[in-house]
Amino acid sequence: MSKTPDSGKSEDDRPSTVEQYLVKDPERFALNMARMIEQAGKAASAWAEPREKGDVRDHVAEPVVDMVKTFSKLSEYWLSDPQRALEAQTRLFSGYMTVWANSIQRLSDGGEDAEDAVKPEPGDKRFQDPEWGRNAFFDFLKQAYLVTSRWANELVEHADGLDEHTRHKAGFYVKQVSNAISPSNFILTNPELFRETIASNGENLVRGMKMLAEDIAAGKGDLKLRQADYSSFEIGKNLATTPGKVVGRSDVAEILQYDPATETVLKRPLLICPPWINKFYILDLNPQKSFIRWAVEQGHTVFVISWINPDERHGTKSWEAYIREGLQYGLDTIEKATGEQDVNAVGYCVGGTLLAAALALLAQEGDHRIKSATFFTTQVDFTHAGDLKVFVDEEQVAAVEKAMNEKGYLDGTKMATAFNMLRSGDLIWPYVVNNYMRGKDPLPFDLLYWNADSTRMAAANHSFYLRNCYLENRLSQGEMELAGRVVSLKDVTIPVYNLASKEDHIAPALSVFLGSKYFGGEVDYVLAGSGHIAGVVNPPAAQKYHYWTGGKPTGDFDEWLAKATNHPGSWWSHWQRWIEAKDDSRVPARKPGKHMKTLGDAPGTYVKVRV
């Protein structure tokens, strides 16, 4: 907060002035508007050209139709009872009247004692500019928006006649619409954007439209929203830099083995099965954040599955193929490289779901090489599967399958957009505003580079996942069919370390907790602080967050949490002690390539294939 030399008042305390919103150089402003329109034309061309050539087919109508259907069911509940409809309208009208009264008071006496009708949620960064409070016009917009969005959320919460899936979708769609129409997203209704546009005579909009055209071109007709300065990063140079070798390659996976960092290593090698929805190097972003490097330094012989970024050749690769040519191939490769059959395994997110299903299948087939399983934010039961369930019902899955069957895969941008929508207030609209309205390049950020490094989904694989897990919940019910067998998690009797994250929006902590009861052996449930990524990628040296441990994961989740022990910092060291408690015997360190030919340096070639 700075002081002005003439008044001695801070900028936040100064009264709002009209001058800051008046164009000072009309000629230059008009020229920049013309340049902006020229760049907007290039953006439109980048969008239209691939559609005219038939390279891109729009499927926008499908989610819009679903949203309209959902809102129609919500409206039907409120409008079917006149008394109920009147009460809802009265609540909204009352909120507007409070906003109007506050605005009148501000205009008449400065409004120092006027209480806002509604305040932004804690942590809401959209309305931090002082003008949102001291300028009557922008304050009115802010409060009217907050009253409306809060009212819309309450309509969903109090719609007793909706089934749970429809209520979930309605709440999600209301959130998306509310985030999209926020006055902070538009030039004329955001005081900061308004001032920047006037101060630069519209040059920010010229830069923004140029970036928009570039991002549509980069998405080959679809908007590929840039969230970071990607030019600062290169896989193998300053991302995924832990030294190692590619020791195996199949149609769907490369197997990486990392160089040892200790003279002796744990006898049991460690096989990591990451999600194929994203790339494995979330566990090896940089030396300070790398779980892989840290595990090597603790004495693990670490092997990682690096999944192919599939194309039309992989359309028929099913879950069984990912088990045989990924997980089992990894176990075979470990045996060749080390001579060891007993292995500790880690699965992350959908990689963990695949690992759980594979363990159930391998138990029936008599393959008992995996002696312990660790799951990072993994769901095996999808009853409480979070906001991703919004995208999964019979109509939507059928539409996705139709789109996938055209090419043999689902475009990576589609999956990336879905994940970004789960946190649109953090991962979409701030970047729309920063990039295309302020005309500013986003900052370099390794995590957001990884987030934007999209992967395609092989059609057969993704269809099996959506139907068997999200839609029909077959794994936990003992009904999933793999390799001609019906598999059951009760057959998984090895020790399980089941890690959830407290604020996870993809694999909710409750969902992971309830999934623990389906395994046939001992399960240690551990709850990390933060979310799906930060809760997992939390090195001990950072001294961030907390984790909770407690009794068996049975009964009520909230009761378990209330009795659990809170530990400061990272769960990584706790996991290491858990692993060593199962088998802490050690052998001389193993160097990649000693017993088999290597195929190149880590991180390999598959991870470098971009969408």
Active-site positions read 349
> Under a CB-based contact definition with an 8 Å cutoff, are residues 364 and 487 in contact?
yes
Helix (H, G, I), strand (E, B) or coil at 331: helix
Q: Is 156 exposed, middle or buried (0-12, 13-18, 19+ CB in 10 A)?
A: buried
- Closest C-alpha among 472, 276, 499, 500 to residue 381: 472
Provide the b/e sequence for 203-218 (b: ≥16 CB within 10 Å). bbbbbbbbbbbbbbbe
- Closest C-alpha among 166, 198, 236, 233 to residue 22: 198
CA distance 201 to 205: 9
What's the one-letter identity of residue 266? L
CB under 8 A, 24+ apart: contacts of 572-577: 572/291, 572/294, 572/538, 572/539, 572/540, 573/540, 574/526, 574/547, 574/549, 575/374, 575/497, 575/499, 575/526, 576/298
SS3 per residue for 170-184: HHHHHHHHHHHCCHH
Report which DSSP code applies to 264: E
- Closest C-alpha among 533, 564, 537, 566 to residue 551: 564
CA distance 38 to 195: 23
> Under a CB-based contact definition with an 8 Å cutoff, are residues 246 and 255 in contact?
yes
- Closest C-alpha among 310, 311, 334, 307 to residue 323: 307
Q: Which residues fall within 8 angstroms of residue 394, CB to CB, at 6 or more apart?
A: 471
User: 318: phi > 0 → left, psi -120 to 50 → alpha, else beta; which?
Assistant: beta
CA distance 245 to 597: 10
